[in-house]
């Protein structure tokens, strides 16, 4: 029989350009699997009980072959279900669940690759249905799909397998780690309720709860509390807590919609009422105030990566959230008594750091940085530094200080290239030193907490002052040559991380 993918020719090509991340694209398939389970829970629970199983979604990625496979043991699809799934924008029966738009299979599969095959069999039926979609052919007007029905399957079996090839994107290095981390975060609710087993290349994903990391009061009580309120008749609930020792990537509110995180680590929602304008500065509140907020009654974007606020909904939610959490915000703002007496790392922390430093020093990447890469000639250094120094003309310094007769000006820049030096010093003036710090540099991205930023800024600023002293007390090596050489060394941990990720 003939099976068609019912879609406009221009639309199918546009799916490749959707603003997906790899993890949000993959989540579309998991959403379909889990929603199919929720819609058929009683039937599947009975089947799982006999099989000794729970719902399982497995993702397998073969970088060398350029193939991606997503399989599940959910209810499966009949021919009518499959036809419905291949009809673009045809709403599902349940429009309040995770698959509310009826778009995820098509949009995510097209975003990921040009050829995809669906193999599925519904529980209780004896026929497996197979359909292959070639995006390029459909875009050229050939809407008919390769379809095959295989009779004689065991009625008690139930599954869906999606194989995607001719991929539009290749996942490697740090991206592979981020996919695992994001998916672990996104399906934390399902893991908590032990209703989903999710694997990546055979390894089960899991979510590490934050309770062990939360601040405790003198009486031993944990700084965590639940909240609930309503906005325009929509129920909002969640919890707020304070991290004992946090970092900016860890804090903020994870936004949960239909039991799935749509926005969370490491780009959690930071409402300005709690965290300050533009998601706040890197202060204690932005490092320690953490929580989850369920917003089931609100609209979600088509890529399911954020809430679509209507009217002043966001302002109303922020206002009521502040009322619930203001006391915790103030507590997070204050350091605990005793913190000032616990200065410096412990012996164990020092030993761990020394071990890590030794690994970096003996790595092939460090050997290249020190012994193989050439020292840049003075004219190259001079040109590079001059270009960066000229780029701040007309900009106000981020910070400045007068040290005796020396005027120190610092610029924190987010518009530089990650390939530019981590810091640039201009010490050509007799009474002024300019320090330009690159916030897009890989080393900046590794900083955690205000103490980490402070110590890093000390190095940048004090190196600049020391180089100014050296320049005006002795005429020798261009001080920025030292900076360029040190810049290479600061990149080594990032290079090691990327190379390790490539081997994953």
Q: Inform me whether the pLDDT recorded for 38 exceeds 80.
A: yes
Q: How far apart are CA 152 and CA 148, in angstroms?
A: 13
Residue 86: per-residue pLDDT: 85
Question: E-strand spans in 85-158?
Answer: 113-121, 128-134, 144-150
- DSSP readout, 434-449? EEEEETTSHHHHT--H
Q: How far apart are CA 71 and CA 107, in angstroms?
A: 18
Q: Inform me whether the pLDDT recorded for 486 exceeds 50.
A: yes
Work out the mean pLDDT of the chain and round it to a whole number.
85
Residue 481: per-residue pLDDT: 61
CA angle 77, 82, 87 (to 5 degrees): 145
Q: How far apart are CA 66 and CA 166, in angstroms?
A: 7
Residue 324: per-residue pLDDT: 96
Residue 341: per-residue pLDDT: 37
How much is the average pLDDT of 71-83? Answer: 96
Q: Inform me whether the pLDDT recorded for 196 exceeds 80.
A: yes
Residue 265, CB half-sphere, CA atoms under 13 Å: how many? 24
Local confidence band at 422 (pLDDT 50, 70, 90 cut-offs): confident
How much is the average pLDDT of 176-198? Answer: 96
Q: Inform me whether the pLDDT recorded for 495 exceeds 90.
A: no
Contact 223, 214 (CB under 8 A): yes
Residue 367: per-residue pLDDT: 72
Model confidence over 94-116: pLDDT tens digits?
A: 878 898 777 888 899 999 999 99
How much is the average pLDDT of 354-382? Answer: 72
Between 375 and 404, the more confident residue is 404
How much is the average pLDDT of 232-248? Answer: 92
Residue 349: per-residue pLDDT: 64
> Quick one: three-class SS letters along 308-328?
ECCCCHHHHHHHHHHHHHHHH
Local confidence band at 338 (pLDDT 50, 70, 90 cut-offs): very low
Which of 123-127, 142-146, 217-221, 492-496 is most confident? 123-127
Return all residues near 214 (Cβ < 8 A) that are at least 6 apart.
222, 223, 224, 241, 242, 243, 244, 290
Which helix (DSSP H) or strand (DSSP E) does residue 180 occupy?
A: helix 174-186
Which of 140-154, 330-344, 384-398 is most confident? 140-154
User: Nearest-CA neighbor of 369 among 220, 469, 496, 267?
Assistant: 496
Report all structural domains of the chain as residue ranges with CATH numbers, in order of start: 3-196 (3.30.565.10), 211-333 (3.30.230), 364-502 (no CATH)
Which of 252-256, 301-305, 378-382, 477-481 is most confident? 252-256
**Candidate from 266-275, 277-286, 423-432, 484-493 with smallest mean pLDDT:** 484-493
Residue 5: per-residue pLDDT: 67
Contact 235, 93 (CB under 8 A): no
Contact 306, 314 (CB under 8 A): no
Local confidence band at 494 (pLDDT 50, 70, 90 cut-offs): low
Tokens at 408, concatenated: 């120190």
Between 196 and 382, the more confident residue is 196
């Amino acid at each position: 029989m003939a099976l068609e993918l019912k879609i406009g020719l221009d639309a199918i090509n546009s799916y490749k350009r959707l603003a997906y991340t790899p993890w949000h694209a993959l989540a579309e398939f998991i959403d379909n699997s889990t929603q199919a389970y929720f819609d058929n829970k009683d039937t599947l629970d009975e089947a799982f009980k006999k099989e000794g199983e729970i719902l399982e979604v497995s993702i397998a990625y073969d970088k060398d072959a350029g193939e991606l496979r997503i399989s599940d043991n959910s209810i499966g699809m009949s021919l009518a279900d499959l036809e419905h799934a291949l009809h673009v924008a045809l709403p599902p029966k349940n429009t309040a669940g995770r698959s509310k738009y009826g778009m995820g299979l098509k949009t995510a599969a097209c975003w990921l690759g040009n050829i995809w095959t669906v193999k599925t069999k519904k529980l209780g039926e004896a026929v497996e249905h197979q359909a292959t979609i070639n995006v390029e052919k459909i875009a050229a007007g050939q809407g008919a799909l390769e379809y095959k029905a295989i009779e004689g399957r065991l009625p008690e079996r139930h599954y869906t397998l999606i194989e995607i090839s001719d991929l539009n994107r290749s996942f490697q290095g740090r991206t592979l780690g981020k996919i695992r981390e994001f998916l672990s975060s996104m399906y934390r609710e399902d893991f908590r309720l032990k209703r989903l087993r999710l694997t990546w290349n055979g390894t089960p994903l899991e979510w590490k709860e934050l309770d062990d990391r939360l601040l405790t009061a003198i009486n031993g009580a944990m700084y965590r509390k639940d909240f609930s309120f309503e906005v325009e008749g929509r129920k909002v609930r969640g919890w707020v807590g304070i991290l004992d020792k946090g970092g900016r990537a860890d804090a903020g509110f994870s936004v949960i919609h239909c039991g799935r995180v749509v926005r969370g680590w490491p780009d959690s929602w930071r409402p300005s009422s709690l965290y300050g304008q533009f998601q706040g500065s890197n202060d204690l509140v932005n490092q320690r105030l953490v929580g989850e907020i369920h917003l089931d009654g609100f609209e979600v974007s088509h890529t399911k990566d954020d809430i679509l606020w209507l009217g002043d909904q966001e302002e109303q939610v922020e206002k009521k959230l502040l009322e619930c959490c203001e006391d915790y915000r103030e507590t997070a703002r204050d350091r605990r008594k005793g913190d000032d007496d616990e200065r410096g790392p412990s012996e164990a922390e020092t030993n761990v750091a020394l071990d890590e430093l030794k690994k970096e020093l003996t790595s092939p990447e460090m050997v290249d940085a020190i012994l193989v890469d050439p020292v840049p000639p003075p004219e190259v250094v001079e040109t590079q530094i001059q270009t960066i120094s000229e780029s701040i003309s007309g900009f106000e310094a981020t910070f400045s200080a007068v040290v005796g007769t020396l005027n120190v000006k610092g610029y924190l820049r987010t518009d530089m290239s990650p390939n530019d030096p981590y810091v640039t010093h201009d010490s050509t003036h007799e009474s002024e030193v300019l320090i330009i710090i690159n916030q897009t540099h890989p080393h900046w991205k590794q900083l955690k907490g205000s103490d980490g930023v402070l110590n890093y800024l000390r190095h940048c600023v004090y190196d600049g002052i020391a180089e100014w002293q050296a320049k005006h007390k002795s005429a020798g090596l261009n001080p920025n040559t030292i900076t360029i050489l040190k810049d290479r060394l600061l990149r080594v941990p990032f290079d090691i991380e990327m190379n390790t990720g490539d081997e994953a």
